Amino acid sequence: MRPFPSEFRLRDLAAITGEVCELKRNPYIREANEASEAWFKSIGAYHGKTLQRFFSHRFDLFAELSFPDADEQHLETCIDFFFWAFSFDDLSDEGELQNKPEEHEIGVKLCTSILFDSAPKRTGFPYARMLDHVWRQLKHTATPGACDRFARSAVEFFNGQLQQGNNRKLNRMPTIEEFIPMRRATIGCGMVEAMIEYSLDIDLPDYVFEHPTIRAMSDATNDLMTWPNKEQADGDYSNLVFIVMEEKDLALQDAIDYVITMLSDRVDEYIALKRSLPSFGFEVDRELARYLKALEHFVQGTVVWYYSPRYFRNIDISDRTELLIPVFKSSA
């Protein structure tokens, strides 16, 4: 891999996805977030400065932008989901299990038991207890199909994390072709889609989600969310930009521009897929339109949230037209 420069330029990614995805805010965010933060504190996964740092990542802003039409109760569960997913993901990304795939696998088994065992074992593992809470809330109002999609995607999420951990342990960088589906899994895109269904009590037949065009649209929106994501500053090079640098033998700026072109092309592909949608009948089409609008809200909320301090340290992002970003030293 070529050496890194001291800085790079970044176009406004939200303007690219904003061609098709609307940005909107949820008016219930303050009340929902207060309840969710109190719940997360009660779990005891984080304390002191670690807890403060975790909350500083502004998951409330993420939820406010990503679930703008959810009512307060559903929004609270969506924030709870974020708290579980990001705290569990951080265990393998930068936490105590980053270089311990065997111990991470034990945690995965405990979480999997919550979703699939008729009488899951009681455990002190805080991440399994958090998932149990979210799972109970989801099953309370979501359709059986949404619950099934959440559970199946959670397995993909866990397996993707384990694979990523093994790659890190072996110092192995995947190819672009390998990385794209793996990243969809490690970021939990299928779980996100199920939470979108839950957030608005969407009720669509399973055959709609199995239709090739809907599957392709799902992949496209997942890629729009995942390709811009993943900071270099934690010393983890398992992200698309660095994989492109390695595979295409490009300098950092050229690799970033290459990925941005991929992102723009993916927006065009999504627009074309949306235009080619078949009709499933009036009632189903109306419900599908609600779902796709909510999915687009989530995409745009995600991309805008990527400009939060979780990923941008002490950088003025008031004008995102073309940012000049310093290449951070690893904090590992």
**Complete DSSP assignment for 77-142:** HHHHHHHHHHHHHHHHHTSTTTT-HHHHHHHHHHHHHHHH-SSPPP---HHHHHHHHHHHHHHHHS
> Which pLDDT score, from 0 to 100, does residue 234 have?
46
Answer yes or no: are the C-beta atoms of 55 and 91 closer than 8 Å. no
CA quadruple 219, 221, 225, 228: dihedral sign:
positive
Q: Which DSSP category does 4 fall into?
A: P
CA dist 145 and 213 (Å) reads 18
Does 29 map to a domain? yes
> Which pLDDT score, from 0 to 100, does residue 236 have?
54
> Which pLDDT score, from 0 to 100, does residue 319 have?
72
Angle subtended by helix axes 189-199 and 72-93, to nearest 10: 170
Does 331 map to a domain? no
> Which pLDDT score, from 0 to 100, does residue 193 have?
98
Does 275 map to a domain? yes
CA dist 278 and 213 (Å) reads 8
- What letter represents residue 58's amino acid? R
Does 53 map to a domain? yes
Does 79 map to a domain? yes
**Element (H or E) spanning 213, and its range?**
helix 212-226
CATH number at residue 287: 1.10.600.10
Answer yes or no: are the C-beta atoms of 134 and 142 closer than 8 Å. no
Query: What number of other Cβ atoms are within 10 A of residue 67's Cβ?
Result: 30
Task: Write the CA distances from 159 to 110, 165, 222, 300, integer angstroms.
Answer: 13, 10, 17, 27
Does 58 map to a domain? yes
How many structural domains comprise the chain?
1
Does 23 map to a domain? yes
For residue 152, the enclosing domain spans 7-230+239-326
**Element (H or E) spanning 7, and its range?**
strand 7-11
Does 271 map to a domain? yes
pLDDT under 70: residue ranges of the chain: 92-102, 230-238, 309-314, 316-318, 328-332
CA dist 259 and 265 (Å) reads 10
> Which pLDDT score, from 0 to 100, does residue 92 have?
67
